């Protein structure tokens, strides 16, 4: 197999941002009289904040308005520096794979991508292509974001590994034609396999060995 590139999801793969965005979402929705709890957000993980916030709002019987997302991102920006966690092996892995073309494909809006990369100390130049939720009308589980990321680095998706932590993201990776890798930071191995993952890893560093295995 000719692996030329890695297409990374961001949240749950490079950084542990879920507790931060959930806290921001809870605070934002409270302004609209919605008492959300952490478990409300789980079904909407990895689908972009319009669905992540909007799904919870609708679950509680409220109409979703874009201002809810804007307020969520505003709060996120206020708390991200203190609370975002970067996975232990993220920087090490990105460095070890720097001989390949790397791209980012996140369902999150670009403002969140920039916040996370800045706090994590990951230069924008690490990626030959950065695709955010602003760049595609259809978010994951549709393959559009991964396909756009592959186009951005001029690599056929069949020669890419696409890695994601969410069920919707693994479905998108599989649908793109890339080798779909699920990482068990958010969902169980069973859930990711059911979503169509070709390989499952528990730590991002395992990606280095997987690339070697698939390239032999």
**Residues designated catalytic:** 9, 11
DSSP state of 214: H
Q: How many Å apart are CA 161 and CA 92, to the nearest integer?
A: 18
Q: How many Å apart are CA 149 and CA 157, to the nearest integer?
A: 9
Helix (H, G, I), strand (E, B) or coil at 6: strand
∠ CA 64-114-77, nearest 5°, is 60
Quickly list DSSP for 98-153: TTSEEEEE-SS-HHHHHHHHHHHT--GGG-SEEE-GGG-SS-TTSSHHHHHHHHHT
Residue 210 parent element (H or E): helix 206-215
> Radius of gyration over alpha carbons of the chain, in Å?
16
> Is the distance from CB of 57 to CB of 29 less than 8 angstroms?
yes
What are φ and ψ of residue 79, in 5° steps?
Answer: -115, -10
């Amino acid at each position: 197999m000719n692996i030329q590139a890695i297409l990374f999801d961001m949240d749950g793969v490079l950084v542990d941002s879920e507790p931060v965005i959930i806290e921001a979402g809870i605070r934002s929705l409270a302004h609209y009289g919605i008492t959300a709890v952490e478990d409300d957000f789980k079904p909407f993980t990895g689908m972009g904040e319009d669905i992540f916030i909007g799904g919870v709002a609708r679950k509680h019987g409220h109409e979703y308005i874009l201002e809810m997302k804007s307020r969520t991102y505003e709060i996120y920006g206020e708390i991200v520096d203190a609370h975002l966690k970067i996975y232990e092996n993220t920087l090490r892995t990105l460095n070890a794979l720097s001989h390949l073309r790397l791209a980012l494909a996140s369902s999150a809006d670009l403002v969140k991508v920039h916040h996370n990369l800045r706090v994590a100390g990951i230069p924008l130049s690490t990626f030959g292509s950065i695709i955010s939720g602003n760049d595609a009308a259809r978010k994951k589980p549709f393959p559009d974001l991964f396909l756009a990321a592959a186009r951005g680095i001029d690599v056929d998706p069949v020669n890419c590994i696409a890695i994601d932590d969410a069920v919707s993201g693994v479905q998108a990776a599989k649908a793109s034609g890339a080798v779909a890798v699920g990482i068990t930071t958010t969902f169980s191995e069973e859930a990711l396999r059911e979503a169509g993952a070709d390989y499952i890893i528990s730590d991002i560093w395992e990606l280095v060995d997987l690339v070697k295995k698939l390239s032999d």
